[in-house]
Chain A
Amino acid sequence: MNCDESRALWRRGVFVAACACAMSGLLHQAAQARSDSIVWEGDDQSVVLAPQDEDTAPPNDHPVTMAPEDIERMLSSLRFRHSDHEPDTPPVAVFTEEQVEILGQALATGLTRAAPSEDVIFSIIGAHQMSPGAFARRNRLTAGRAFFRDGKLNVIFGEIQSPYRKKNVYGRLDEDFYPREYGSRASPDAQEAVLVASTDMSLRTEPQGQREDWVVFDSPVAGAAPPPQADTIAQHPQAVPSPAEARSPSEPPDAAAVDNPVAGSGDIEQRLETLKRLREKELISEDTYREKVDEILKDL
């Protein structure tokens, strides 16, 4: 190839590359909206703002301020059971300790930024022990959507500790083996894992029955804590936990933190006053108020 031919080839190449870059620039502007919706990203994991899954869904009570610690306590209390296990099989924790910490921060941030027409959707990967004391752990995916409505934090799960795998296509591991499901307000798809109700939260009840994928938390007062700064999320380490840091799913969270309706509250009188304020502001139902009062009075 002589110099003229070489220069012609390079000019063609530069032109082609310039076209590709120009096209990329135009598309980048269109994708900027997605960038703004990202609350947190880890290694193949994310928490993002997304439109509600149904056009007819009533608007959420967003934006709302919730303390990360309160969300962490709620997530720590979640238990589930595989749908093909016997009902008397002990349920296990949905999230590891590190996942709770990440999601507590990220969901709190997302809820302060979400519009009424948006949910906060999450997909997070954790290493869960195959059995108590086992050396090997399985990487499992949990995904869903969170939103605040009627004074309560709602979380609908599309995946609970589903197998996390990438599909090998011509040596590339870029594609999820199974499409990620983020849960839906509509009737749930067949679930392999079902949530187990506890005293601190309830499963949503619909005419056709209880939703075993949709949990509603009796939330503490919204606005009681300032929102976390966005850069604290960005500085958070990548979320796939090392085995040394991952907590065994069989270890329950602090029981006192689950039963105490207000994180960090002191004596019984303070707890009763807090419950009364929550009821007066109609942030908890009458039934919940009476149930919690009974629990506190039993401690006398």
Chain B
Amino acid sequence: MSNYAQKNKCATIASAVVAASMLSSNAVAFESMQMGDWDIQITGNINGFLTNTECDPGAGPVAGGLACGSNGQDRDLGNIRTGLLPAFFSFNGKQESENLTTEVMIGFQPGIDGGNQGGITGSPLDGGLGLNSENLRQVFLQFGSDWGKVKIGRDLGLFGSDAILSDMTLLGVGTVSDLTAGGGNTSLGRIGVGYIYADWKGQIQYSSPNWEGFSFNVALVDPWGLVDLSGLSHDAGSFAQQGDTYGIEGKVGYEWKGDEEDTDDLAGKVWASFFTQSLDSAVFGNEDATGFDVGAKVGIAGFEFVAYYYDGEGIGTTGFLFDGVDLSGNARDSDGGYLQATYAVPGPGTKIGVSYGESNLDLGPADPATSTLVETNESIVVGAYHPLTESLNLVLEYTKTEATAHNGNKAEESSIAIGAIIFY
């Protein structure tokens, strides 16, 4: 055997040994370490899915619809892509002194498929020398003590955060949509089909101490701009939106953990949150974007149930302030929610889940009754999430999404996804 072949063989064997050891439940690649005064953790996940999606456009377009085919294109799509949860690579450091705990967190979130154009939405057909997408979603510092914590930086917003964190499609794919049909950084999951995306926001947030399960958070949030997803709304530019109005978000919650050893003991959380921001325009006058939500998650004997509802004006649908204002500058009403039930099978630990959710966007005063603006985005998801190890999950999901316009146009998407997610 030649030297090259020998080295290649050795490298192959070494790689196999490393891979086998990584799959062992005893393998611990990233431990929480203490170096000097700092506790250091490197954490994250990588996930990948094969998705096959059928897009049925129906009779006409649905402006702002999330079922793929809403843009009028009848097509089938195939992707090897990231799911709802972007890959995370995060560095977290914590230092405790006598009176203060300080913490830093920074992370970036690459996606598998950015398509030939790269970027967050990707392209259905990859091309040579195409780059995958990556985000820098999280960078913040935090300090606190017995009186609570203050966070300054960019992190997940408060309004809608528990909705997405409780969503079972966080481990899967959910809705693909025309928006992320090409793969891109992530899929939509249940974003816009049961909740508004909490998004990652520059903020100064105060978190209270935990009083026997009760806690609250309040944040001053970077001014957020209107987005026109449907083509029938104002965006920040056309609205002449002023950039000096901060948003305010708040959340109150109660969580109880039950008996840690007794899975038959009831455990869960309830929460309510709000968001408000003035939308000031030198042309259209001032509007307010205001929203409320309430949710509950309870688990007992392997079952877990989630119920969530939100309501608002000017907050739009899908993403924050997406299609929140009509072409006359009036705020549109929107609401939605989702119900979810999962069950973890004893023994293998496979979690089987089903969920239904919808998001509704009302016409504004200036919208015609025959508008193609989306009225409802709704979906039903059935999924199985099987833990091969504590770190690695295999996932199989089916999602049926429908988008209905105010004029009756309807688009339907059927998507099946199979893949894996590993936490480290």
Chain A residues contacting B248 (CB-CB under 8 Å) are none
A9, A171, A173: the one within 8 Å of B137 (CB): A171
Inter-chain contact B390/A9, CB cutoff 8 Å: no
Q: Could you jot down 14 A-B contacts, CB within 8 Å?
A: A1-B287, A6-B288, A12-B292, A12-B311, A13-B274, A16-B309, A17-B294, A28-B214, A34-B257, A121-B260, A136-B34, A170-B170, A171-B90, A180-B260
Task: Determine how close the nearest CB of chain A comes to the CB of B261; give it in whole angstroms.
Answer: 6
| Overall SS of chain B's interface | strand
**Beyond A27-B256, A240-B39, A243-B36, is A13–B44 a contact (Cβ under 8 Å)?**
no
Task: Determine how close the nearest CB of chain B comes to the CB of A25; give it in whole angstroms.
Answer: 9
Task: Determine how close the nearest CB of chain B comes to the CB of A186; give it in whole angstroms.
Answer: 13
A34 to B252, CA, bound (A): 21
A136 to B258, CA, bound (A): 35
Mask: chain A, 130-145; 1 = CB below 8 Å from B; 0 = not: 0000011111000000
A21 to B273, CA, bound (A): 12
> In the complex, what residue of chain B is closest to A46 when comparing beta carbons?
B260
4 residue pairs, one from A and one from B, having the closest CB atoms = A168-B43, A20-B272, A24-B254, A13-B292
Inter-chain contact A173/B92, CB cutoff 8 Å: yes
Inter-chain contact A171/B313, CB cutoff 8 Å: no
A86 interfacial by beta-carbon distance below 8 Å: no
Inter-chain contact A17/B292, CB cutoff 8 Å: yes
Task: Determine how close the nearest CB of chain B comes to the CB of A289; give it in whole angstroms.
Answer: 36
> In the complex, what residue of chain A is closest to B90 when comparing beta carbons?
A168
Task: Determine how close the nearest CB of chain B comes to the CB of A263; give it in whole angstroms.
Answer: 31
Q: With A50-B261, A238-B96, A242-B37 given, name 16 new contacts (CB 8 A).
A: A1-B331, A12-B292, A13-B274, A16-B292, A20-B252, A24-B214, A28-B212, A28-B213, A50-B259, A163-B31, A168-B44, A168-B45, A171-B105, A171-B137, A171-B155, A243-B36
A242 to B39, CA, bound (A): 10
**Beyond A163-B32, A180-B260, is A173–B214 a contact (Cβ under 8 Å)?**
no
Residues 37-95 (chain A) with a chain B CB within 8 angstroms: 43, 50-51, 53
> In the complex, what residue of chain B is closest to A176 when comparing beta carbons?
B390
Task: Determine how close the nearest CB of chain A comes to the CB of B134; give it in whole angstroms.
Answer: 15
B175 interfacial by beta-carbon distance below 8 Å: no
Chain B residues contacting A10 (CB-CB under 8 Å) are 290
B238 interfacial by beta-carbon distance below 8 Å: no
Task: Determine how close the nearest CB of chain A comes to the CB of B105; give it in whole angstroms.
Answer: 8
**Beyond A16-B311, A28-B214, A163-B28, is A177–B271 a contact (Cβ under 8 Å)?**
no
A201 to B282, CA, bound (A): 80
B327 interfacial by beta-carbon distance below 8 Å: no
> In the complex, what residue of chain A is closest to B210 when comparing beta carbons?
A41
**Residues of B at under 8 Å CB distance from A?**
26, 28, 30-37, 39, 41, 43-45, 85, 88, 90, 92, 96, 105, 107, 137-138, 155-156, 164-165, 170, 212-214, 252, 254, 256-262, 266, 270-272, 274, 287-288, 290, 292-294, 296, 309, 311-314, 330-331, 390-391, 423
Task: Determine how close the nearest CB of chain A comes to the CB of B265; give it in whole angstroms.
Answer: 9
**Beyond A27-B254, A139-B33, A243-B34, is A171–B296 a contact (Cβ under 8 Å)?**
no
Inter-chain contact B260/A192, CB cutoff 8 Å: no
Chain A residues contacting B85 (CB-CB under 8 Å) are 169-170
Task: Determine how close the nearest CB of chain B comes to the CB of A244; give it in whole angstroms.
Answer: 9
Inter-chain contact A137/B34, CB cutoff 8 Å: yes
Chain B residues contacting A276 (CB-CB under 8 Å) are none
**Beyond A1-B314, A165-B30, A171-B90, is A51–B262 a contact (Cβ under 8 Å)?**
yes
**Residues of A at under 8 Å CB distance from B?**
1, 5-6, 9-10, 12-13, 16-17, 19-21, 23-24, 27-28, 30-32, 34-35, 43, 50-51, 53, 121, 127, 135-139, 163-173, 177-178, 180, 182, 192, 238, 240, 242-243
A222 to B26, CA, bound (A): 40
> In the complex, what residue of chain A is closest to B105 when comparing beta carbons?
A171
The residue among A1, A43, A192 with the most chain B CB atoms within 10 A of its own CB is: A1
**Beyond A168-B45, A238-B96, is A177–B165 a contact (Cβ under 8 Å)?**
no
Chain A residues contacting B266 (CB-CB under 8 Å) are 30
> In the complex, what residue of chain A is closest to B259 when comparing beta carbons?
A50
Inter-chain contact A139/B212, CB cutoff 8 Å: no
A17 to B85, CA, bound (A): 29
A135 to B36, CA, bound (A): 7
> In the complex, what residue of chain A is closest to B167 when comparing beta carbons?
A170
**Beyond A12-B311, A24-B214, A171-B88, is A139–B31 a contact (Cβ under 8 Å)?**
yes
A6 to B292, CA, bound (A): 13
Chain A residues contacting B262 (CB-CB under 8 Å) are 51
Task: Determine how close the nearest CB of chain B comes to the CB of A72; give it in whole angstroms.
Answer: 23
Chain B residues contacting A242 (CB-CB under 8 Å) are 37, 96
**Beyond A168-B44, A168-B88, A177-B390, is A138–B155 a contact (Cβ under 8 Å)?**
no
Chain A residues contacting B290 (CB-CB under 8 Å) are 1, 6, 9-10, 13
A5 to B364, CA, bound (A): 13
A51 to B274, CA, bound (A): 39
Inter-chain contact B261/A139, CB cutoff 8 Å: no
Inter-chain contact B288/A53, CB cutoff 8 Å: no
A173 to B94, CA, bound (A): 12
Inter-chain contact A192/B213, CB cutoff 8 Å: no
A24, A34, A35, A172: the one within 8 Å of B165 (CB): A172
Inter-chain contact A16/B314, CB cutoff 8 Å: no
A23 to B96, CA, bound (A): 36
> In the complex, what residue of chain B is closest to A183 when comparing beta carbons?
B261
Task: Determine how close the nearest CB of chain B comes to the CB of A120; give it in whole angstroms.
Answer: 13
Inter-chain contact B34/A165, CB cutoff 8 Å: no
